[in-house]
A and B are shown apart, each in its own frame.
Chain A
Amino acid sequence: MNCDDALEKLSDHHHETLATGEAVAVAEHLGACGGCAQAYCRLQAQLRGIGSAYAERPSSGTRDALRAAVATEFAAKPTGGLLSFLRRPVPAYGAVLAAALPLVAWLALRPAEPKPIDVAQPPAPARIHDYGATVPLFDRNVS
């Protein structure tokens, strides 16, 4: 990057509106070129000058009057805590959740229904498996 390019981009560099690659190139040029670095310092001082040229504070009387007006207008009420809780913003899905709550409660609390019996297909006879006994119990030799 040459000096003309760098000088043209100084303002955008200060305002941080350059793309990353360009910003790096300008920074590298400023690190190597005393003339452009000086021009950059001057630009920064000029822009800071706008802030300081207009920096002015309202009088303490104005501050006190405003503070008193705010205190009167927004005085904390005894019910303030409850009201602010009720006024809290509710997310959009809050209404859906609130509507679904009775359904969830009904599903959780309803009595268990007995299984319907399929008359067409009688239940399979109970089988005993993995009993692991080769000899009937009454033949065992219990000592």
Chain B
Amino acid sequence: MTCGIDEVVTAVTASDEALTRAVREGDMEAFDVLYARYEVRLFAYVRRFVTDRPRAEDVFQEVFMTVLRDRTFDPSRGRFAPWLFTVARNHCRMEHRKGSRESRALDALPTPVAAAEPAYLEADQVRLAMDALPDAQRQLLLLKQVAELTYREIASVLGVAEGTIKSRLHTATSAFRAQLAKGETP
């Protein structure tokens, strides 16, 4: 299929909702643009909850397909990003429930890398600090910093008021920084 520059520019600048409509009509260029926009944001979010990489890749695919398939999501009425992350959150919860027994058993094992190498990389420090947070605070920081959602979109995913999100974000940021500082203290 040939694709003119005008079409590519249109797809790149199109809203997520317009791209969703186009994908549902079989436009694969629209899919490529939509995929590129959410590939890292969605996978990073899923990976945080599904530690097994092959399973995380399956969940990532399921989430994307669910959102595209689900005709109850009308792109002319709702925003794509909050819907995508709401579906992702629900899938991750189900995964977590499925694997909770297994993960409890894994959690009980010592972490050999941590024991052998006390000088963590910066990314590891961040992950450790995030892991130490209560689930609600971690969710909030992931939706803001990884999924890059707006306050309104986060409020929609979590089902709370926008003002509440802002005040909780303040608390979550402070808690995250406190955890980082703990990790830095020898």
- Check B174 for interface membership: any CB of A closer than 8 A: yes
Q: Name the A residues within 8 Å of B142 (CB-CB).
A: 50, 54
Contact A55–B65 (Cβ < 8 Å): no
Q: Does B102 contact A (CB under 8 A)?
A: no
Binding site for A on B (CB under 8 A): 21, 23-28, 31-32, 35, 39-40, 43-45, 47-48, 56-57, 60-61, 64-65, 68-69, 74, 76, 122-127, 130, 141-142, 144-146, 148, 151, 166, 169-170, 173-174, 176-177, 180
Q: Which chain A residues lie closer than 8 Å to B31 at the CB level?
A: 67, 70-71
Contact A15 B123 (CB under 8 A): no
- Given A46-B126, A54-B44, A65-B61, 9 more A-B residue pairs with CB atoms under 8 Å apart are A17-B170, A50-B141, A53-B122, A54-B45, A56-B43, A57-B39, A63-B39, A66-B35, A89-B74
Chain A residues whose CB sits within 8 angstroms of the CB of B43 once the complex forms:
56-58
B68 touches A12 (CB 8 A): no
A52 interface residue per 8 A CB criterion: yes
Question: How many angstroms from the CA of A52 to the CA of B126 in the assembled complex?
Answer: 9
Q: Given contacts A62-B60, A66-B61, is CB(A74)–CB(B25) below 8 Å?
A: yes
How long is the Cα–Cα vector from A58 to B166 in the complex, in angstroms? 31
Using CB atoms, name the residue of chain B closest to A73.
B69
B130 and A50: CB pair below 8 A?
Answer: yes
Assembled-state Cα–Cα distance A37/B43 (Å): 33
For residues 80 through 124 of chain A, which have their beta carbon under 8 Å from a beta carbon of chain B? 80, 84, 89
Q: Bound complex: CA of A125 vs CA of B148, how far in Å? A: 85
Are the CB atoms of A15 and B25 closer together than 8 Å?
A: no
- A51: Cβ under 8 A from any B Cβ: yes
A50–B126 touching, CB < 8 Å? yes
Find chain A residues with CB under 8 A from B57 CB: 58-59, 62
Closest 9 CB pairs of A and B: A76-B26, A53-B126, A50-B145, A54-B44, A53-B123, A11-B173, A17-B166, A62-B57, A49-B126
Interface centre among A47, A49, A58, A80 (most CB of B within 10 A): A58
Tell me the dominant secondary structure on chain B's binding face: helix
Would you mind naming 21 contact pairs between A and B with Cβ atoms under 8 Å apart? Answer: A14-B173, A15-B173, A17-B169, A46-B176, A49-B122, A49-B126, A53-B123, A53-B127, A53-B130, A54-B45, A58-B39, A58-B57, A62-B60, A65-B61, A66-B65, A67-B31, A70-B68, A73-B65, A74-B26, A75-B26, A76-B27
Chain A residues with CB under 8 Å of B65's CB are: 66, 69-70, 73
Note all chain A residues with C-beta closer than 8 A to B125.
49
User: In the complex, which residue of chain A has the Cβ closest to the Cβ of B1?
Assistant: A76
Question: Which residue of the partner chain, among A14, A53, A74, contacts B68 with CB atoms under 8 Å?
Answer: A74
Q: Which residues of A contact B173 (CB under 8 A)?
A: 11, 14-15, 43, 47
